[in-house]
Amino acid sequence: TPAGLPSAGVRFIIAPMTQRSSAPRARCGIDPRGLLLILLALSVLFAIVYVVSRPAAAPVTDATAEPVSVELAATATPVTADSFEAGVVAGAAASDEATAAPKITPSRTPARRAAATATPVRKPTATRKPTATPPAVSRSGLPTIAYDRLPAEARETIRLIQAGGPFPYRQDGVTFQNREGLLPGKPRGYYSEYTVETPGSSDRGARRIIAGEGGELYYTADHYDSFREVVLP
């Protein structure tokens, strides 16, 4: 106790203070720690009620997904470790093959199927008319030449002969004497000669057509040294 104060006086001073500090607890009768536990229990209760009463979120579904039937689910093959590993290996091989060389499968439309099964129609091949080959030796005993094998100037001269002229040279139509004796022997005046123009020549040139009164025609390219009988088409 402080010096100079009797112990009885100290108890007299401190006792009222102790009684005042403990008076609220005596009057309420509740421990503050118990009140704190009650509030904590109420908070936990409210949290549980909120979680339970909150509406569950609707699951997100794909509108385009097809429902899996119960029968399909029942018949599905269970996935094992071995089958899963085999599927992964097969999928990797298929992916490598598709990346290396993509295979394009043509669509089999009805039109293509019809074209594939249709019997091909063979186009008729044009038959070429055989060209008559003139005999190597004619009735006159001379070599022959086909009309279409003659030079263009000789064919033009024959056309003028068949049309009766006019002829480009005044000597055309004169009598051929057959002095060489290479043509079949005929009376004088039976043969007539006609000029076949030679391109680049300054004169009548050496080519002639000899026409007989019977319609036979002979061609010479060397001024009567040789003759070939013309075979008309």
The residues annotated with a catalytic role in the active site are: 193, 223
- How far apart are alpha carbons 219 and 183 in whole angstroms? 11
- Supply φ then ψ for residue 102, to 5 degrees: -65, 130
Q: Do 157 and 147 touch, CB atoms closer than 8 A?
A: no
Q: Which residues pair with 12 in a beta bridge?
A: none
CA 105 to chain centre: 13
Nearest CA to 182 out of 142, 152, 150 is that of 142
